Amino acid sequence: MNTHVVIVGYGMAGARLAEEIRARDPDAAAVRITIIGAERHLAYNRVLLPHIVEGELSRADAALHGAGWARENRVELLLGTTVRAVDRAGNRVLLDDGRTVGYDRLVLATGSTPWLPPIEGLRDGAALAEGVAVLHDLDDCPRIAAVAERGEPVAVLGGGVLGLESASALAERGTQVTVVHRSDRLMDRQLDGPAGAVLADALTDAGVGVLLGCQVRRYRPGTGLELANGTVVPARLVVVATGVRPAVSLAAAAGIAVEHGVVVDDLLRTDDPAVHAIGDCAQHDGVSSGLVGPAWEQASVLADLLTGADPAARYRGSAPVTALKARGIDLVALGETHTEPSDPVAEVLRLADPARRRYVKLVVRNERVTGAIMIGFPAGAATVAQLYGTPNAAPAEPLDLLAGATAPASGPVLHRQASSVICRCNTVTKGELVTAWQAGARSVDALREATRAGSGCGGCRDTVCALADALARAEPAAAAATADWAEIEGVAA
């Protein structure tokens, strides 16, 4: 008899889990899947929402699944349906339309919800006040874009990644946009002081107003954000981007252990062995990452366990990389970014070129790259992201890494090792991309279709593009010389 897996949440983690299960169990012999999703849309790539606001992508471009996906994959899909409660004693969930669905295993993939600071004028009861928006769901995009289309000023409250991506997208549309941030440094969780300053300058160049160290007193609808010093930042719309919180209320109400997120072990199990949690709502080893890469790694491990494909599979945590998706600004931050040169054990290198809006910081500890900030060095960023967390991977001379001279994975993408990871969200190596190319995937879209590379945060898209170009150029020459594909794959490198 097969196991009935019920997934609550049809976001990036829930959708991926269903795909991973079907990849291991295509005929539904081992697992029957039901997905219950509160949104009325088929799964989409949430990471791309700023590009939809910008007008660069359409809603269709962000789709993860087509209309026939559920039927073709033998998935029962309940869209626009919210799970109201979990009846653990009865092994069933209660839906908002009064129905109940039984389960053998329940997976909570409820994501996160935007957090709003207690500032007067942002809320109207439980709802957002008039003129206040968040960018979290597909339905948020048209509302924000409409204000931009009317040419009205917008303020973005919060200078973290999401706030800056929203502001950059609006500036691209020609909107007068101002980021209002409480700290004296943008992206203060990821960046040190000099990096924050370089980023602020780069954003200002791109037409984004930046106000730091601001206390907001209230929002005056139709007028703007009133700061504690009396200044009013003009805004017909305030986009609040002050962080998210794991969506844990369903689990908490069911008596499942919850701290910041829903607590899970290496098997992604809650304290009820029949209930799992993955994605933004889950807390593993004290961490709720809020990033898509870890969510997809968890989906893969859980699919191994639920289908029995690999009963020994375990989730041991992720080494996530934060990339800012703002046009004209290449920014990557990973690991310990706040370590200073005064640290007695770590080696900390810094290179600042503020006039060109470039900054690099590299932290090397025990011959490992344990942290980095890279602004304005796209090639170096790809190299460092690859080395991050890999033991004994830092070169003897870390400065070489920055110069891109002797680093093992630096240089043209074609010369990288086959095992080097190009797409971190999906853990796709260069070797897998070359194999897909050889099998007929001859464009960036086809490579994405075949390997998923580039379907996550999109940060590797330029590298995949460069690889496709390089392979296209190399192929005739290699064929003429009775090509040794192993060399192109980097196996022999």
Ligand X SMILES: Cc1cc2nc3c(=O)[nH]c(=O)nc-3n(C[C@H](O)[C@H](O)[C@H](O)COP(=O)(O)OP(=O)(O)OC[C@H]3O[C@@H](n4cnc5c(N)ncnc54)[C@H](O)[C@@H]3O)c2cc1C
Q: Which residues bind ligand X (CB under 6 A)?
A: 8-14, 36-39, 46-47, 49-50, 82-83, 109-112, 135-136, 162, 247, 250, 279-281, 290-293, 295, 325, 457
Given the complex with ligand X, which of 146 and 228 has the nearer CB atom?
Answer: 146
What is the smallest separation between the CB atom of 304 and ligand X, expressed in angstroms? 18
Cβ(284)–Cβ(315) below 8 Å: yes
- Residue 329 and residue 50 in contact, taking contact as beta carbons nearer than 8 Å: no
Q: What separation in angstroms does the CA of 227 have from each of 158, 186, 256, 264, 430? A: 14, 18, 41, 41, 50
CB closer to ligand X, 153 vs 279? 279
205, amino acid identity = D
CB 217 within 8 A of CB 226: yes
- Count CB neighbours of 367 within 10 A: 14
Q: Which residue is nearest to ligand X (CB)?
A: 11
Nearer to ligand X, 292 or 434 (CB): 292
Nearer to ligand X by Cβ, of 12 and 225: the residue is 12
The CB-of-162 to ligand X minimum distance in angstroms stands at 5
Q: Which amino acid makes up residue 218?
A: R
Show the tokens assigned to 343.
Answer: 């640290």
- Burial tier of 113 (Cβ tally within 10 Å: 0-12, 13-18, 19+): middle
Calpha distance 37→157 (Å, rounded): 29
Nearer to ligand X, 248 or 444 (CB): 248
Residue with tokens 């706030």: 163
CB of 454 to ligand X, least distance (A): 13
Minimum CB–partner distance for residue 260 and ligand X (Å):
14
Give the count of beta carbons closer than 10 Å to the beta carbon of residue 184. 12
Q: CB of 212: closest distance to ligand X in angstroms? A: 22
DSSP string, 324-377: EEETTEEEEEEE--S--TT-SSSEEEEEEEGGGTEEEEEEEETTEEEEEEEES-
Q: State which residue, 13 or 155, has the beta carbon closest to ligand X.
A: 13
Can you tell me whether residue 127 is helix, strand or coil? strand
Cβ-based nearer residue to ligand X, 168 or 410: 168
Q: CB nearer to ligand X: give 295 or 387.
A: 295
**Residue 238 three-state SS:** strand
Distance CA 452, CA 163 (A): 27
Q: How far is the CB of 276 from ligand X (least distance, A)?
A: 12
Q: Is residue 292 helix, strand or coil?
A: helix
Q: How far is the CB of 13 from ligand X (least distance, A)?
A: 3
Supply the minimum distance, in Å, between the C-beta of residue 8 and ligand X.
Answer: 5
Q: Are 263 and 157 in contact (CB under 8 A)?
A: no
Instruction: Please give the Cα distance from 215 to 131 (Å, whole number).
Output: 19
Shortest reach from residue 53's CB to ligand X, in Å: 9
- Looking at the Cβ atoms of 43 and 305, the one nearer to ligand X is 43
User: Cβ 104 to ligand X, closest distance in Å?
Assistant: 19
By C-beta, is 36 or 360 nearer to ligand X? 36
Quick one: which of 134, 136, 132, 114 has its CA closest to 123? 132
CB of 258 to ligand X, least distance (A): 14
**Cβ atoms of 18 and 26 closer than 8 Å:** no
Nearer to ligand X among residue 135 and residue 170 (C-beta):
135
- In the chain, the amino acid numbered 70 is A
CA distances from 185 to 90, 158, 169 (A): 50, 11, 20
